[in-house]
Every structure is written in structure tokens, then in C-alpha cells.
Amino acid sequence: MFGFRKKTEEMHKDPKKALEHADKTLNTGFTGWISKTVMGDYFHSEANKGIKMAKQFTDNGNLSVTGTPATAEVISLQDTGKLVNFNPVLMLKLKVLPQFGTPFEIETEATVSKIAVPKAGDKLNIKYNPANTKEIIIL
């Protein structure tokens, strides 16, 4: 009983642990079987997409502190039709111009403010992971 309570308290303090637990619960064991059987494949697929997106946000949250700063020029953008807190999620093609090193292009999904949706040609301040340039965060 006390071990369960301690584990639950840890998950409330650490979003990464909560997401790992949700992912494991949704996809394994009796709960996973019930979610697939009762709710159907569509629900199960959408729930996994939501967990994956949340994991990306928690992982990229560290980039705001540890990432390498750069400027990125918006080459193109496309609306995905998704919303996060009523803000649109866009597929962005960016040309990243690092302070040091050669420029590179990436495609990424990003949530942007509905008040300040970027346009092609706009410059954005970003931070990226030099070890994996696909990991970026728009500041």
C-alpha cells in the first residue's frame, strides 16, 4: 500500500515518470488489453499519439536550458489540424543558422501561438541539441 502511494507521489512530481507509467499502462497488461478491446484501435492509437507528443514536450523542455542558441528561417509551414491549448500545431521546414558551424535544414512539428503564427521568411530564435539536430525548441 505504501509503495503504491510513494510511486503515485513521485509521478505527480515528475512528468516524465508519469508519462512513462501512462505509456506502460496503456500498452501492456490487463489495462492495455482492456483499452484496446473496449475502446478500440482508434482510441488506442490517438492516446499513444498524445503520450508521444507529451513526451516530446517534456524532453524538449530541457533544451530551453541546455540547448545551443541559433536563428532559424521559416522556409515553409503547413497546418496539421491539431491544437494544443487552443494553439495550432504546425509542420515547419526551417533553415537553422547556428552561431558556429554550417547551416542545416530540418522539418519539425511545433506548437505556435495563435496570436503570432509565423510566415515563410520569418526568423525565429531557437535552441537545438547539437548531438541530435532534429531536437529543437522555439523560444
Residue 7 pLDDT: 57
Which amino acid is present at 69?
A: P
Dihedral sign of CA atoms 13, 15, 82, 122 in order? positive
SS3 (DSSP) at 125 = strand
Q: Which residues contact 97 (CB under 8 A, 6 or more apart)?
A: 70, 71, 72, 73, 103
Domain ranges of the chain: 2-61, 68-138
Residue 60 pLDDT: 56
**Cα–Cα distance for residue pair 59/66, rounded to 1 Å:** 11
**Block means of pLDDT (10 residues each) for the chain, length 139 residues?**
53 69 76 79 80 69 80 94 89 93 90 90 90 84
User: What pTM did the predictor assign?
Assistant: 0.57
What number of other Cβ atoms are within 10 A of residue 68's Cβ? Answer: 18
Residue 61 pLDDT: 58
Residue 78 pLDDT: 94
Residue 124 pLDDT: 93
Residue 1 pLDDT: 44
Residue 28 pLDDT: 77
What number of other Cβ atoms are within 10 A of residue 110's Cβ? Answer: 22
